Amino acid sequence: MKIIIIGCGKVGLYLAEQLSEENHDIVMVDTSQERLNSISEDVDALRICGNGASIQVLLEADIKNADILIAVAESDELNLLSCLVAKQISACQTIARVRNPVYSKDINFIRKHLGISMIINPESAAAMEISRILRFPSAIKIDTFAKGRVELLHFRLQKRFGLAGLKVSQVAERCKAEFLICGVERHEQITIPDGNFVLEENDILSIMASPRNAAQFFREIGLKTNQVRSSIIIGGGKIAYYLAQILHSMKIDVRIIEERQERCDALNDLLPDDVTIIHGNGTDKQLLMEEGLKVTESVVSLTGVDEENIFISFYVKTNSDAKVVTKVNRIAYDDIIDSLDIGSVIYPKYITADYILQYVRATGNSIGSNVETLYHILDNRAEALEFIIRENSPVVGKPLSELYLKPELLVAGIYRHGKFIVPRGQDSIQLQDMVIIVTTQKGLRDIRDILR
């Protein structure tokens, strides 16, 4: 497909890298020639300097032959206008990143009346991901499928669980819950394991299960499964605003520490009265103690400075038993940050890009089976995808043991008629199933792509 990306910041560049790897025809548009020049030559894309809302610039980018325009510039208004102009002069699909909470209540109206195919709010999406983690604090990260009825949970294997040294097949025999271990991250190595793979202490495991079975599994190995009852949010930006609303609806006690008085006043006006806003510096250890660090069940560090968030999280881990969530924006250092024991790390840029890539994959194949959900997992070197089976194909009706699957690929789950099925060799994929695939093979667009 021909794809035009407006805005070459972190999200735009990451999308260009991913999409060019999938052999799409990419055009990148940005107002900064310096930014365009800094893009690696490894990214196979045409670069155009100009305003993405300009008709002349869009025509130069060949908008009339484009399949999708993705607008992820810094300005919400520029993104919306770029999509509006593109729709007037072409038949392409349009995606806009819109971050200002002022527009959040009008998203459906804007999408419908401006003809925009998809609007993504990164801060709202990040807040939703954090809320899932606080609902199930034993997990480092939770990805959801089948509209929340199936979950992929990532957690670190500790000695006290009694699983280290066991084969994957032995873990399945020992635990009564229906689940599947579908990924292991060990130091720099990632593995999609078979039954003979032996687990080690400090492995990061990814397990697929229904929420009820996931809770049962965690209880059996001695981990807490109840959602947190209290949370301190450090930093009062957009993510904090959305997160406080979600946590308040979950009956979680919320306290926000924010350094800017004017932002404190705004949050007081925007949020319910029983959300406590504290004017202060979230790096102040005495303030954290005074506001209940020793007794709170979670701390979410959302300041605008990555280093602050990381140091705050280290301090919290050392001085309390709270579940820790850390926001990081600079994805260039994600491999270093992931090696640090600072709880759950949230990358808003990755979350935004994954939503957009999911839409692009689904648009690229409108027959047979669409990509409904997509997550990058296992240190971003593997994908977990959900397909809905709408038509007959070579994968339908045959036992999984008889399918000639690509290497490093696992059919991790089947959701059928309200029930999650842990796939075995005798199971088969049927029409209308939701099928979850975990693989290191990038770029799958259709369920038929799982075959060699």
Does residue 368 have a pLDDT over 70?
Answer: no
Does residue 183 have a pLDDT over 90?
Answer: yes
Residues 242 and 326 in one domain: yes
Residue 354 counted as domain residue: no
Residues 275 and 381 in one domain: no
pTM score of the predicted model: 0.86
Does residue 412 have a pLDDT over 90?
Answer: yes
Domain of 443, CATH number, reads 3.30.70.1450
d(CA 117, CA 83): 9
Residues 278 and 379 in one domain: no
User: In this structure, what token pair is assigned to residue 69?
Assistant: 């325009």
Residues 101 and 36 in one domain: yes
Residues 106 and 39 in one domain: yes
Residues 257 and 320 in one domain: yes
Residue 445 counted as domain residue: yes
Please answer whether residues 195 and 167 qualify as being in contact, where contact means their C-beta atoms are separated by less than 8 angstroms. yes
Does residue 86 have a pLDDT over 90?
Answer: yes
From the number of C-beta atoms within 10 Å of its C-beta (0-12, 13-18, 19+), residue 74 rates as: exposed
Q: 53-62, 137-146, 267-276: which range is least confident on average?
A: 137-146
From the number of C-beta atoms within 10 Å of its C-beta (0-12, 13-18, 19+), residue 370 rates as: buried
Q: How many structural domains compose the chain? A: 3
Domain of 313, CATH number, reads 3.40.50.720
Residue 207 counted as domain residue: no
> What pLDDT score was predicted for residue 371?
82
Domain boundary among 120, 144, 174: 120
Residue 98 counted as domain residue: yes
Task: Calculate the average pLDDT of the chain.
Answer: 91
Residues 337 and 241 in one domain: yes
Residues 323 and 404 in one domain: no
> What pLDDT score was predicted for residue 338?
65
Residue 259 counted as domain residue: yes
Please answer whether residues 203 and 186 qualify as being in contact, where contact means their C-beta atoms are separated by less than 8 angstroms. yes
| Helix, strand, or coil (residue 127) | helix
> What pLDDT score was predicted for residue 333?
63
Domain boundary among 103, 120, 137: 120
Please answer whether residues 368 and 349 qualify as being in contact, where contact means their C-beta atoms are separated by less than 8 angstroms. no
Residues 15 and 75 in one domain: yes
> What pLDDT score was predicted for residue 369?
56
334 pLDDT band, cuts 50/70/90, is low
User: What domain range is 394 assigned to?
Assistant: 367-450
Residues 71 and 107 in one domain: yes
Strand order in the sheet with 369-377: 369-377, 382-389, 434-439, 409-416, 419-421
CA triplet 159, 164, 166: central angle to 5 degrees?
Answer: 155
Domain boundary among 346, 375, 400: 346
* Residue that wins the pLDDT comparison between 278 and 174: 278
Residues 312 and 250 in one domain: yes
107 pLDDT band, cuts 50/70/90, is confident
Cβ neighbors of 141 (< 8 A, separation 6 or more) are 129, 133, 153, 154, 344
DSSP string across 374-424: EEEETTTTEEEEEEEE-S--TTBTSBGGGS-BPTTEEEEEEEETTEEE---
Does residue 126 have a pLDDT over 60?
Answer: yes
Residue 361 counted as domain residue: no
Other Cβ atoms closer than 10 A to 289: 12
Residues 243 and 318 in one domain: yes
Residue 40 counted as domain residue: yes
User: In this structure, what token pair is assigned to residue 353?
Assistant: 């890009």
101 pLDDT band, cuts 50/70/90, is confident
> What pLDDT score was predicted for residue 413?
94
Does residue 224 have a pLDDT over 80?
Answer: no
Residue 84 counted as domain residue: yes
* Residue that wins the pLDDT comparison between 5 and 40: 5
Query: What mean pLDDT do residues 148-169 have?
Result: 92
Dihedral sign of CA atoms 415, 352, 335, 24 in order: positive
Does residue 404 have a pLDDT over 70?
Answer: yes
